[in-house]
Amino acid sequence: MAKAGVQVVLWDGMVSTEQRLANDLPLLALQAILDATACTYDADCILQGAKAKMCGICGSRETNPERCAACRPLEPQLSDWMSRTFITEQIVRQTIGLAAKKAKIAGREGWFKRTDLAEEVGSIMSSHLATVVATDLGQKIGRIETWCYGD
Ligand SMILES: [Zn+2]
């Protein structure tokens, strides 16, 4: 990263940039990010990847995502996730952050490795700037722009 001239950001809680976005952006923005990601790749793959990341943090005692009543299978709308018994907004945010960081897609780990998608995520974030000024993300926003658009 440093070698490529990209500024490294230390987020509160030492979370990844993906997790910082998922924690701090409004749910509306997370929905837009999920939609953009599902459009760029295969929607079913994206939702299955998210489901696999959700199990373990979903609050249910079942750790097998195939059997977990909370986690399977996820709908395209975050509001539908939250209508389930176990799934809180916090779990939705953790799941999106973890999946965006770690879920395998197109042979690579993480959703935003494609430049076009990273730019789209950046523009979604920009359109919600006013609502995140008080968050860690809002405080360090210049650096995340570097993450999205490069130097
Ligand atoms: Zn589960």
Domain range annotation of the chain: 12-149
pLDDT at 38: 96
Predicted local confidence at residue 5, as pLDDT: 53
Q: Cβ–Cβ contacts within 10 Å for residue 40, how many?
A: 17
Q: How far is the CA of 55 from the centre of ligand 1 (A)?
A: 3
Give the pair of three-digit tokens for residue 114.
């494609």
Spell out a b/e string for 70-91, using b for 16 or more CB atoms within 10 Å of the CB, else e.
bbbebeeebeebeebebbeeeb
pLDDT of residue 4: 54
pLDDT tens series, the chain, 151 aa: 445 555 567 899 989 999 999 999 999 999 999 999 999 999 999 999 998 888 878 877 877 777 887 777 899 999 999 998 778 999 999 999 999 999 998 888 999 988 899 999 999 999 998 999 999 999 888 777 777 777 6
- What's the pLDDT at 106? 84
pTM value? 0.87
Ligand 1 centre and the CA of 133: distance in Å? 33
Token readout for 62 is 């079942």
Query: Residue 61: its pLDDT value, please?
Result: 80
Cα-to-centroid distance, 13 and ligand 1 (Å):
24
CA 46, chain centre distance (Å):
11
